[in-house]
Structure 1
Amino acid sequence: MLTVEDLTLRQGAFTLRAAFSIATADRVAVMGPSGAGKSTLLALLAGFLDPVQGRVLWTGREITKAAPGDRPFAMLFQDNNMFPHLTLAQNVGLGIRPDLRLSAEQKARVAQALARVGLPDMQARKPAQLSGGQQSRAALARILVMDRPLVLLDEPFAALGPALKVEMLDLLAEVLDETGAGLLMVSHDPQDARRIAPMTILVAEGQAHAPAPTAELLDNPPPALRAYLG
């Protein structure tokens, strides 16, 4: 379980507070007005930002001051974190070892992950040789090899067309089913949240609220969310 206890972040005049819990295999969307702090919340949980107070715990163990790589999270940003000078296999292999000194067994894991997401014959390609959808698939392959219990996604499919985005959300759900991992996903699209996340955290007016049922929140949004959704 992820537990956030009275966490507070300050950046100049901006303050974000958070207090909530998420069960290990929960799938939770993060929604709210632009600039409210959705991506900031994920960066804070992942260890890229430091809070001024509060604690982050995973299954009862405090990880507030742990380095990003030492946290039980796999994080995927909007640009898919692909390094243009590396091959697809190398980009995925970074999820196992940053120095890419992979054993034969680890290289096999990379190949299996790429095959699982529909890219079995593209290990030697560079990111520039891939479509947007293929890059998103490669990013999911890296999440597979990382084998972390919670996946943090910051609008990873925002640049994709509607049909391809639905395809990627369904593939993501399959990957989560297979690994048993939970999900915390920033999204600006209510349909994305409805499709994959039964619960949603509303980030608005300096507060990351406790998860609420997605359908109820979107069917009867509070004023801050209603103004954003239109």
Structure 2
Amino acid sequence: MAEALTLDNICILRGDTPLIEVDHCIAPGTVLSVMGPSGVGKSTLLAFLTGTLPTGFTGMGRVCLGATDITDLPAEQRRLGILFQDDLLFPHLSVGANLGFGLVPGGTTKARRARIDAALADVGLNGYADRDPATLSGGQKARVALMRMLLSEPRALLLDEAFSGLDAALRDQMRRLVFDRARALALPVLMVTHDADDAGAAGGDIIRLQKPAACGV
């Protein structure tokens, strides 16, 4: 069932200093782009959402998926998929084993392999399951990272400057792939970026963070 990702009066402080304030509901299949200069706290917002806020920061407000308040859940129970600038594939595992790491537990070995093969075929990498990640191009690694995340069956997608390490042509291709998949799966997407082209390609609402941001505390 499609669910919205709600950032309900989120306020993040560094020590006693207000850093970020966000209050927004991201509908299923849409993208909220959060823009701002380096150091404004874009990645800190994602850390709060994923339950990995560093020491020295305090977060207030609620994070909800549909009717479920996930604010205080352990990170592994939040069902938030995240893509970073780097693909973060495990170098000691094959492409297929990397995808298998994303699969939810359960099922037979045959069924799991079938899902892995289908995921690779879905992004034009049919037959790549036994390949070493080191032999892949940057675009191929990005596609494997995307499918590994989607195989974990997330309820929402977070993008942390996910396209900034790609060249122009590949960046455009990966943006279309990610946003098309999110729409097809009705996943709400929160993207932090400094690139106006990313936000334009997303086509959704944009929040521009400034330094410092005032919070109503």
TM-score (norm 1): 0.81
Aligned residue in 2 for 1:43: 47
Shift of 1:206: 4.1
For 1:33, the equivalent position in structure 2 comes to: 37
Higher relative contact order (CA 8 A, sep 6+): 2
* 1:189-204 correspondence to structure 2 within 5 Å: 189-204=195-210
Residue aligning to 1:55? 62
Counterpart code for 1:165: R
Answering whether residue 11 of structure 2 is matched by residue 4 of structure 1, we say: no
State the identity as a percent: 38
CA distance in 2, matches of 1:147, 1:94: 12
AA matched with 2:121 = A
Deviation per residue, 1:181-226 (Å, 9 max, x gap): 22111222111211123211222224499xxxxxxxxxxxxxxxxx
Mean Cα deviation higher: 80-89 or 174-183: 174-183
Distance in 1 between residues matched to 2:129 and 2:99, nearest whole Å? 9
What amino acid is aligned across from residue 94 of structure 1 in structure 2?
F
SS in 2 for 1:151: strand
Cα deviation per residue 1:164-189 (whole Å; 9 max; x = unaligned)?
A: 11111111122223322221112221
Counterpart check, 1:124 vs 2:130: yes
Distance 1:181 1:36, change over 3 A: same
Alignment pair present for 1:173 and 2:179: yes
Deviations 1:78-116 (A, max 9, x none): 112211111111111111148x99632122111111111
- In structure 2, the partner of 1:21 is 25
Aligned-partner Cα distance in 2 for 1:197–1:174 = 12
Aligned residue type for 2:81: A
Matches within 5 A, 1:146-165: 146-165=152-171
* Equivalent position SS for 1:204: coil
1:92 aligns with 2:95: no
Distance 1:13 1:208 in 2: 12
Consecutive unaligned residues of structure 2, counting only runs of 5 or more, are none
Unaligned runs of 5+ in 1: 210-230
